[in-house]
Amino acid sequence: MARPFAVFDIDGTLIRWQLYHALADELARRGHLDPREFQRVRAARMDWKKRSGEDSFAAYEQTLVRLINQAITGIKASDLEQACRSVLSEYKDQVYTYTRDLIRELRAKDYLLFTISASQAEIVGMLAEYYGFDDWAGSLYKTKDGFFTGKIDVLMSERKPEVLKTLAAKHHASWQGSIGVGDSESDIAMLSAVEQPIAFNPTKKLFTHAKKQGWKVVLERKNMVYKLEAADGTYRLQA
């Protein structure tokens, strides 16, 4: 019989921080990013932390992505791998208890486990192996002669639903009982594809969409997990 599957986002869903952002910090520490350009990233990050505007996080992330895409040009693939391993050693266990425990629970129920992330495929693969995912996908950057060219093969934030269908077909997985967990609007299309979408610590845009669709919402704060079930156009705290 075909096995059901669950698909997880990573940044802000499993890992409490963003691997993409942590990797940028590590590359800067190793001297691969221009200090003046990285200062712009730090300023944008501070604007977000101060909640300077509703779109401050998006502005910060766009600034970061532009810098990474510029800076990765000419970096040795082996140097990026070393940076990824350094980030993973620090962040791999800094996870949310809800998603960590859900992964364990679903594995015990013989679910296939996938993770799809917009972070670089190199670090996504390392984390997927650590948590025992059956398959995974991340953003792919082109290399030539062992160096990154700066060109992107696959920007995963734009292809999550398509890639999920590919993974499900590859493993002959059943969509019946399928589960998806994500935290931002970039996960909406992926969550829409599964039977049981879960908006975990959602952004405002994801929450608004989840509410319209009646999706389950889960919040984790400090050492508490709050599960919200849709009821009559609003949410009810699950006992």
Q: Which residues of the chain have pLDDT under 50?
A: none
Q: What is the pLDDT of residue 231?
A: 82
Q: What is the pLDDT of residue 34?
A: 77
Q: Provide the residue range defining the domain that includes 39.
A: 4-237
Q: How many domains does the chain have?
A: 1
Q: What is the pLDDT of residue 191?
A: 98
**SS3 of the chain:** CCCEEEEECCECCCECCCHHHHHHHHHHHCCCCCHHHHHHHHHHHHHHHCCCCCCHHHHHHHHHHHHHHHHCCCCEHHHHHHHHHHHHHHHCCCECHHHHHHHHHHHHCCCEEEEEEEEEHHHHHHHHHHHCCCEEEEEEEEEECCEEEEEEEECHHHCHHHHHHHHHHHCCCEEEEEEEEECCHHHHHHHHCCCEEEEECCCHHHHHHHHHHCCEEEEEECCEEEEEEEECCEEEECC
* pTM across the whole model: 0.90
Q: What is the pLDDT of residue 89?
A: 96
Q: What is the pLDDT of residue 55?
A: 75
pLDDT digits (tens, 9 = 90+) for 45-93: 787 778 777 777 777 777 777 777 776 778 899 999 999 999 999 999 9
Q: What is the pLDDT of residue 49?
A: 76
